[in-house]
Chains A and B, each alone.
Chain A
């Protein structure tokens, strides 16, 4: 079994659902899925001019992992530009800061403060929770 992917912290989700090329030939191509954490990596490294170590700390991953996310993001963008593909933003393995979580068992919604390590539902202690966008 592969090692599980840690959730990457995303401060602000992208303000778009996607980008479409225009002026290109009609036939439709498969779109490129840009994950939230990849968008965040591009933003931190190339918009906020942070170095990879600082950026990795913000996202709660190691520097090499950040570099991989960033590399994947750049390649996807390049691929979309060169092959005139549509870019769509997809949730991915992100955890939104200050986001709400939903318990699948008792349907309670709750936040998990930074200092809290227990991610179970505060009402029924179920671990069947998922994060929801607010």
Chain B
């Protein structure tokens, strides 16, 4: 199962990004391999429709769970439709590593 965490940078030390559509990077955690891969968000600077496009990308890469700070109504609708679990956590300057360790413990 793949889990995505929105991230500000492309490594585990980077901070969690509370935005979904305009997050800098996506940390894709694959349960099978246990290794994170980072994907740059092409929509980070988009003027509109970023949430929907990112949600489509999540469907494309077969993610089952997305962890972010908030989801817009359109992104939420789309993720709901494709049975992707949305998780909202509060942003208190956590690094991706900390979140990953919370997930695996």
Contact = CB atoms under 8 A, between A and B. Distances in A.
B89 A112 contact: no
B54 to A, nearest CB: 17
Chain B interface SS verdict (over half): mixed
Interface residues of A, number: 16
A64 interface: no
A64 to B, nearest CB: 30
Interface string B40-61: 0000000000000000000000
Chain A interface SS verdict (over half): loop
Interface residues of B, number: 14
A109 B84 contact: no
Interface string A90-134: 000000001010000011111111111000001110000000000
16 contacts: A107-B89, A107-B90, A108-B87, A108-B88, A110-B85, A110-B86, A111-B79, A111-B85, A111-B86, A112-B85, A113-B83, A113-B85, A116-B83, A122-B67, A123-B67, A123-B103
Interface of A: 98, 100, 106-116, 122-124
